[in-house]
Amino acid sequence: MKILVTGFEPFGGETRNPSAEVVERLPDTVAGAEIIKLILPTVRYEAPRKVMQAVKEHCPDAVLSIGQAGGRAAVSVERVAVNLDDYRIPDNAGNQPADEPVVPGGPDAYLTNLPVKAMVEAIQRVGVPAQISLSAGTFVCNHVLYQVRHDLEERHPGVGNGFIHIPFLPEQVVDKPGQPSMSLDLSMRAVKAAICAVVEGNCPMTAGATGD
């Protein structure tokens, strides 16, 4: 089994993005699955385009994207992608769409086809706070989750697709009193546990073929 795991470059004035740091530090194999790593620009159209280029090149069984969700205290396994771009701040190329669809004419939403409950339970079992989330926001992360799923349905049906938001790093909140954070070690542990849950075959597209 092969999983493409993506992280994002820093955005919104931050100098770090824990999602990129987690992805860069992942081992090349988790639970027997080969891990392909990719860091995405935090840019509206460019990010999903890069994901789909990597899908074409590597033919993964699943794509798992990781992003930073400042303000959240727990690791959030996203369940829903909505067809809405409504950016609170500009992305790293200055795009700031308001009330626009991700894909004109596309369905209002997609539900992820990764085993979100098993992923949350796996993360909690390794001692890290985790929850299912029903909103990936309306910024670049949601855009990537929606657009990649849309493109996979069209061009690579059966490939799994999901998203995990992780909190700020402690170093990012030293000047943001009251904001929650999570150490890089804990976020790493969470992402590895979630990958294990995907590999363990709770994932519809891997049922009966749970890894190599």
Residues acting as catalytic residues? 78, 141, 165
Nearer to ligand PCA, 122 or 140 (CB): 140
Place of tokens 């985790």: 130
Residue closer to ligand PCA, measured from CB, 17 or 113: 17
The whole-angstrom separation of Cα 69 and Cα 164 is 9
* Nearby residues of 65 by Cβ (< 8 Å), 6 or more positions away: 5, 6, 7, 40, 51, 141, 144, 145, 148, 162, 163, 164
Residue closer to ligand PCA, measured from CB, 87 or 210: 87
Tell the smallest beta-carbon distance from residue 66 to ligand PCA (Å).
Answer: 8
Place of tokens 């590895």: 192
Q: How far is the CB of 94 from ligand PCA (least distance, A)?
A: 15
Angle, in degrees to the nearest 10, between helices 184-197 and 116-125? 130
Compute the least distance from the CB of residue 211 to ligand PCA, in Å. 28
Please tell me the distance from the alpha carbon of residue 93 to that of residue 99, in angstroms, as a whole number. Answer: 18
Compute the residue count for the chain. 212
The 3-state DSSP class for residue 167 equals coil
The closest residue (CB) to ligand PCA is 141
Contact 19, 66 (CB under 8 A): yes
* Burial status of residue 209 (CB atoms within 10 A of its CB: 0-12, 13-18, 19 or more): exposed
Identify which of residues 141 and 148 has a Cβ nearer to ligand PCA in the complex.
141
Interacting residues with ligand PCA (CB under 6 A): 8, 11, 17, 19, 42, 67-69, 137, 139-141
Q: Which is nearer to ligand PCA, 42 or 206 (CB)?
A: 42
Cβ of residue 137: shortest distance to ligand PCA, in angstroms? 5
Distance in Å, CB of 41 to ligand PCA, minimum = 9
C-alpha closest to that of 146 among 55, 39, 41, 65: 65
